[in-house]
Structure 1
Amino acid sequence: PGTPAAPIAVTPTPTPTEPEPTEPPAGSPPRERCADGRDVAESLRPSDAVGPAVRRILARDALVVGVDQNSYLWGFRTPDTGRFVGFDIDLVEAVAEELLGPNARVVYRAVPTSERIRLLREREVDMVVRTMSITCDRRREVAFSSAYFEAGQQLVVPRRSGVTGLNGSLTGGRVCSATDSTAEALLLERDVTSRGIGMVTTANHLDCVVLLQLGEAEALVTDSALAAGHIAQDPTLRPVGDPLTVEPYGVAMHPDDEDLVRRVNRALEGFTAGGGDSAWHASYERWLADHMEDPDPRPPVPVYRD
């Protein structure tokens, strides 16, 4: 882990004034549906057509991708070579091969959670592959591929902590999340500050881990898949309870790049094809199998709107 990448924002902790709401029952909560009634993970049907966005990539002869460099198992640099590796990186390479052929050139840009959407909209990257949850709010700003993984928000605390959830056991303490993340949105939705729980936000979820290690936060909320990586690196941490949400991960792109969305979905079809012999399963076995409790891992079934 490194040091926090940006100033830390702290929401003052008020005195609790309302009764504490109860936690949702155990089990999988439903996946989000948008105001139009559609599944949040709906995307465009795969195609091999070449449009303006794909032509830009072909002319450059390189794919520029925003990734994480600090998410162990998903997107991180190896200490010996400095290369990017992880589940997300395996997916990037599959997309690059679909667009540019074997041995395609990929330009990796390490981007913080809070900068993902801006970099896409300003076309500083072609896409972001960074454990990015597909949400209805984000779909108003960027386009998404079909889902390639499903996770949920997870509370993580030090192993000796007495915290049992987003409840009275955290009153007087602070919970950390990345800025502009679905974890932050969940904490705001739950209005945790009204129950005497302070909120701390940082540029990246790894910065929250550092604050937890320093004793400057009592808990963090992040995707369960990312939490598995944190705990694999630091066994003094543990998850608390079941995931609080169900969130699909997608490849994010500029909202005007419909041809690129279709080509990425074509790459995802190839990445997930073959059942237990798929590239998706091979990547899962390499990076995630030893750290995630899933007896039957499989990619989400794609949902197309056209």
Structure 2
Amino acid sequence: MTSRIVTAIAVIAAAAITATACAGYPAPESPPPSATAAIPTPPGATSQTGVEPAPDSDDCDALVSLRPGTLPPPRKMPARSTMADIFARGRLIVGLDIGSNLFSFRDTITGDIKGFDVELARAIARAIFNDPNQIEFRVLTSGERIAALQAGYVDVVVKTMSITCDRRQDVAFSAPYYVATQRILAQRNAGIEDADDLAGKRVCAARGVTSIGRLQSIVPSARITTTSTWADCLVMLQQGQIDAVSTDDAILAGLAEQDPWVEVVGPSLGEENYAVGIAKGHNDLVRFVNGVIEDLRTSGQWQRMYDRWLSILGPGYPPVPRYRD
């Protein structure tokens, strides 16, 4: 028998064995591929267990601020004044955030920080330096604003900061530059139309804001989740981790601009008066900033700022200040 014939017989035998094995031992069925993943929670998001007091700005006449004097010409700040110290440093240091769309946010194309609050901050810098760009922005969360002023980490805070009597014990405020109303942000067709619909629901707010206490006083059964930024609240709403967000309408409108599937609903739950935060003991800077705000109001620049950034909220007008000497 030749080697070629032996090889052929071996191949045939091997094929027969393979066929018998396949017939006797079929391969087990394989389940279809699958994958699961937990929805990530934004860093710093926590469930709030304590109850905060409702805002109390009416109790101490908190909206009254120091009367502005005549603004000095730019670059000619009064000697030994807070403004002279800022001028000598060469820049105004402003605390704000970059997650409050419409008020202060980073433009994803240019990288610039823009918004209504940013224009106000630049107006203060212009009044000191005759240059709105001699400014340094330091990003703060809502809960960091007061400590940053007290530590001298920033000169002013321009960050949708509401005036309250409690806060006035720790920092000084300019006259109000904007009046907001607290409302609710929810998914469209979620069945949430007003505060009554938030009973037992999960509601998000940024840590350190006055809207938490007001909502708890209106809807005690609401389950509050706090986050570091308003953008985190929007992410949690989109992922179904909360049912609603509640804060000032201007902030909510900025969130709604980023997602067509959410909407601002319900009547006003209360007013919030935004002002520039300033460290105590710097009354000259309070009067100076009030002069800048007064100039913006009387020159029509405030209205132009509103029309550029906040016209989505409908007609708006600058608040009328109340001063004391």
TM-score, normalisation: structure 1? 0.84
* 1:101-250 pair list within 5 angstroms: 101-167=130-196, 169-190=197-218, 192=220, 195=221, 197-250=222-275
1:9 aligns with 2:53: no
Tell me whether 1:293 sits opposite 2:317 in the alignment. Answer: no
Kept in 1, the 8 Å contact 2:56–2:165? The answer is: no
How far does the alpha carbon of each residue in 1:157-176 deviate from its partner, in whole angstroms, 9 at most, with x for none?
11121123232x33442011
Paired with 2:98 and 2:107, the residues of 1 have a C-alpha distance of 9
- Secondary structure (helix, strand or coil) at the match of 1:176 reads strand
- 2:56–2:164 contact (8 Å) kept in structure 1: no
Shift of residue 4, structure 1, vs aligned partner: 7.0
Residue 4 of structure 1 contacts residue 203 of structure 1 at CA under 8 Å; is this kept in 2?
no
1:279 is matched by which residue type in structure 2? Q
For residue 257 of structure 2, give the secondary structure of its aligned residue in structure 1.
Answer: helix
Residue 321 (structure 2) aligned to one of 274, 280, 302: 302
Task: Report the more deviating stretch, 231-240 or 216-225.
Answer: 231-240
Change in Cα spacing, 1:152 to 1:81, as seen in structure 2 (3 Å) is same
Query: Match for 1:284 among 276, 297, 306?
Result: 306
How many residue pairs get aligned? The number is 275
**More relative contact order in 1 or in 2 (CA 8 Å, sep 6+)?**
1
Contact residue 186 and residue 262 of structure 2 kept, 8 A: yes
1:258-273 equivalences in 2 (<5 Å):
258-273=283-298
Gaps of at least 5 residues in structure 1 are 14-29
What's the CA shift for 1:293? Answer: 2.4
Alignment-derived partner of residue 11 in structure 2: none
Q: Residue 191 of structure 1: CA displacement?
A: 5.6
The 10-residue stretch of structure 1 (223-232 or 50-59) with the greater mean CA deviation from structure 2: 50-59
TM-score, normalised with respect to structure 2: 0.79
2:106 pairs with 1:77: yes
In the alignment, what sits opposite 1:19? none
Answer whether contact 1:31 1:246 (CA < 8 A) is retained: no
Q: Which amino acid aligns with 1:63?
A: L
What's the counterpart of residue 25 of structure 1?
A: none
Aligned residues: CA RMSD: 2.1
For structure 2, the 5+ residue unaligned runs are 1-39, 73-77
CA distance in 1, matches of 2:134, 2:42: 28
Whether the 8 Å CA contact 2:99–2:230 is kept in 1: the answer is no
* Other structure's SS at 2:195 match: coil
Structure 1 residue aligned with 2:26: none
1:59 to 88, 109, 116: 88
Cα shift readout 1:26-54 (whole Å, capped 9, x = no counterpart): xxxx994124xx2x211111124735422
Identity %: 37
| Paired residue secondary structure (2:85) | helix
Alignment partner of 2:170: what SS?
coil
Superposed displacement of residue 114, structure 1: 1.1
Q: In the alignment, which residue of structure 2 is the partner of 1:256?
A: 281
Q: Is the 8 A contact 2:195 2:266 kept in 1?
A: no
Cα distance in structure 1, aligned partners of 2:191 and 2:233: 19
- Matched residue type, 2:232: D
By how many angstroms is 1:115 displaced?
0.6
